[in-house]
Amino acid sequence: MDLALTDADLAFQAEVREFIDTYWPEDVRRARATSSRFEESRGHSPEVRRWIDALNERGWAVPNWPQQWGGTDWNPTQKYIWDKETAKAECPQLSAFGARMLAPVLYTWGTDAQKNEFLPKIREERMIWCQGYSEPGAGSDLAGLATRAVREGDEYVVNGTKLWTSGAHVADWMFCLVRTESGAKKQEGISFVLIDMKTPGITVNPVYILGGIHSVNEVELKDVRVPVENLVGEENKGWTYAKGLLTHERTGIAGVARSEVQLARLKRIAQETGMDGGSLWDDPAFRTRVTELEVDLEALSVTELRVLAQVAQGGAPGPESSILKIRGTEIGQAIAMMTIEAFGYYGMPYPEQTLIDNEGPIGNPYVMPTMKGMLYGRASSIFGGSNEIQKNIISKAVLGL
């Protein structure tokens, strides 16, 4: 039992750091972290493109994929180092829907044609995906979805409405859960299909999130014709594939490294925020609360390591990895709220973009991205299986209740 890194690990860490310093240097980081263009910062600037190209060239774009599709042979410690270092430098990640959500389904259950067609484009971020799961009547109860696909010859005809579809307005393709058989148990009769967003019959309506952020959408599907070769795996087995995903990569979902960055930033902001002639950081009450969060986060980071160690020994992360999602989102939200609190009155300004472009930020330059992140982050405990659902899962699967 020990936490020490081997010499090989340390060498790898140095290599990673050098790579990051080259392709995602300090000045780029700061500019991105203080950008008030929250939504755009999720898209592709030239700096991001350069980073992704460099990743692909180095073979580090998709460390967790099978090697034959561009993955690495890293051991769990190396993966951990990679996650930690890239998070610390706030490096951009490949769009999660393609690289983390869809790809595992494809390389596990896809046809060769599907793999050859899609995996390279995802890896190079030349094809952006969105996820068509939730619907107006199917949120936490995902299996209650009503979008219907009826087979007509070589095509499925899809009708229905998807909701909360992140990035549908910029996506090239959507992977989608549709009902192909009715009358069956709710979880049965669902299929997993890939839909080109340029197909006639698709309408994307923006849903503005608090703070005017456009990130999620409503996607209307009206007689959308999808070739049967875009079915993944077997018909009516889609729920199994999607559910497998939900426990997959759950470690990443804790957002430990990201929260560590945010917490360090919160401390810096508190040190730079004036209070009674000193700084907010001198205030024992505030400091105590930050320290409490720090302990919470450290505990979670070790819990994550424990889960990683299980995986390394060949085990799958058990349902107890749900802890990571629950505590991770709670901590992330608490850090965001406390950062807003640190700004004091300067948490309020929410100027139009043009005002910032012309005259610079108001108060602290981190306010706008923090505020948008805080507002957007309220979704973290709702989307992807709300924390209440996660607790139901633990109750059943771990405690046997």
Partner 1 sequence: MDFSLSEEQTLLKDSLERFIQNDYDFDTRRKVMAGEEGFSRENWKQFAELGWLAVPFAEEDGGIGGGAIELMIVMEQLGRGLVVEPYLATVILAGGALKYAGNEAQKGAYLGAIIEGSKMGALAFAEPQSRFNLADVATTAAADGDGYVLSGHKAVVLGGPSADFFVVSARTSGGPRDADGITLFLVDGDAAGLSRRDYPTVDGLRASEVTLDGVKVGADAVLGTIGGGHAVLEQVIDEATLAVGAEAVGGMEVCYKDTVEYSKQRVQFGQPIGKFQVLQHRMVDMFMEYEQAKSMMYLAAMRLDEGYGAVAKKAVSGFKVQVGKSGRFVGQQAVQLHGGMGMTEELNIGHYFKRLTMIDTTFGNVDFHLKRYGAV
284 binds a second copy (CB under 8 A): yes
Backbone angles phi, psi at 123, to 5 degrees: -60, -40
Shortest gap between Cβ of 86 and partner 1 (angstroms)? 18
Shortest gap between Cβ of 323 and partner 1 (angstroms)? 5
> Would strands 129-132 and 173-179 be described as parallel, antiparallel, or unpaired?
parallel
Q: Which C-beta is closer to a second copy: that of 183 or that of 284?
A: 284
Q: Which of 202, 216, 221, 246 binds partner 1 (CB under 8 A)?
A: 216
183 binds a second copy (CB under 8 A): no
Query: Contacts with partner 1 in 374-393 (CB under 8 A)?
Result: 375, 378-379, 381-383, 386-388, 391-392
Shortest gap between Cβ of 68 and partner 1 (angstroms)? 27
Shortest gap between Cβ of 288 and a second copy (angstroms)? 6
Q: Which C-beta is closer to partner 1: that of 76 or that of 201?
A: 76
**What distance in Å separates the CA atoms of residue 141 and residue 244, rounded to the nearest whole number?**
16
Query: Residue 316 corresponds to which tokens in the numbers above?
Result: 């799958």
**What distance in Å separates the CA atoms of residue 237 and residue 228, rounded to the nearest whole number?**
15
Query: Contacts with partner 1 in 262-281 (CB under 8 A)?
Result: 273-277, 280
357 binds partner 1 (CB under 8 A): no
Q: Which of 63, 201, 349, 365 binds partner 1 (CB under 8 A)?
A: 349
- Dihedral Cα 266, 268, 271, 274, nearest 10 deg: -70
If phi > 0 it is left, if psi is from -120 to 50 it is alpha, else beta; for residue 44 that is beta
Shortest gap between Cβ of 37 and partner 1 (angstroms)? 16
Shortest gap between Cβ of 352 and partner 1 (angstroms)? 7
Site pattern 16..55 for partner 1 (x: CB under 8 A):
----------------------------------------
User: Contact 282/271 with Cβ under 8 angstroms?
Assistant: no
Q: Which C-beta is closer to partner 1: that of 96 or that of 228?
A: 96
- Dihedral Cα 328, 211, 349, 275, nearest 10 deg: -10
User: Contact 313/334 with Cβ under 8 angstroms?
Assistant: no
Q: Shortest CA distance to 156 belongs to which of 49, 238, 239?
A: 238
Q: Which of 14, 50, 348, 353 binds partner 1 (CB under 8 A)?
A: 348
Q: Which C-beta is closer to partner 1: that of 134 or that of 259?
A: 134
Shortest gap between Cβ of 269 and partner 1 (angstroms)? 13
Q: Shortest CA distance to 109 belongs to which of 225, 248, 221?
A: 248
Query: Contacts with partner 1 in 294-323 (CB under 8 A)?
Result: 294-296, 298-300, 302-303, 305-306, 308-309, 313, 320, 323
User: Contact 250/317 with Cβ under 8 angstroms?
Assistant: yes
Give the distance, in angstroms, between the CA of residue 133 and the centroid of all CA atoms in the same chain.
15
> Would strands 155-162 and 213-227 be described as parallel, antiparallel, or unpaired?
antiparallel
E strands along 121-273, which residues? 129-132, 148-152, 155-162, 173-179, 190-196, 202-209, 213-227, 231-232
User: Contact 210/159 with Cβ under 8 angstroms?
Assistant: no
Query: Contacts with partner 1 in 125-144 (CB under 8 A)?
Result: 134, 137, 139-141, 144
Shortest gap between Cβ of 175 and partner 1 (angstroms)? 19
With CB under 5 to 8 Å by kind, the binding choice for 76 among a second copy, partner 1, none is partner 1
285 binds a second copy (CB under 8 A): yes
For the four alpha carbons of 379, 384, 389 and 394, in that order, the dihedral sign comes to negative
Q: Which of 6, 288, 353, 395 binds a second copy (CB under 8 A)?
A: 288
395 binds a second copy (CB under 8 A): no
Shortest gap between Cβ of 167 and partner 1 (angstroms)? 15
Query: Residue 300 corresponds to which tokens in the numbers above?
Result: 């979670």
Site of interaction with a second copy (CB under 8 A): 284-285, 288
